Amino acid sequence: MDLIWELCFGLVHQKPPDREKEERRTESGKVERERESERETEVRERESEGGRAEDESREKDR
């Protein structure tokens, strides 16, 4: 019960969030997510190219 009161009291008396900091945080998060998706795409492309090269080398061995 004390925890509930502390949480409610703490949430009611918090300072409002700084909008500029929040905007920077979301913008940097978007940039980071874009970078991650680009890296994942590059990795997938490399893996698929590597898989193709292995398939081609196997066919040549036959």
Q: Tell whether the model's pLDDT for residue 62 goes beyond 60.
A: no
Q: State residue 61's pLDDT score.
A: 60
DSSP 16: P
Q: Per residue in 7-58, pLDDT tens?
A: 777 665 666 667 777 777 777 777 788 889 899 999 888 888 776 655 566 6
Q: State residue 50's pLDDT score.
A: 74
The whole-angstrom separation of Cα 40 and Cα 3 is: 42
Half-sphere exposure in the Cβ direction for 55 (13 Å, CA): 6
Q: What is the CA radius of gyration of the chain?
A: 25
Instruction: Label residue 60 by pLDDT band (50, 70, 90).
Output: low
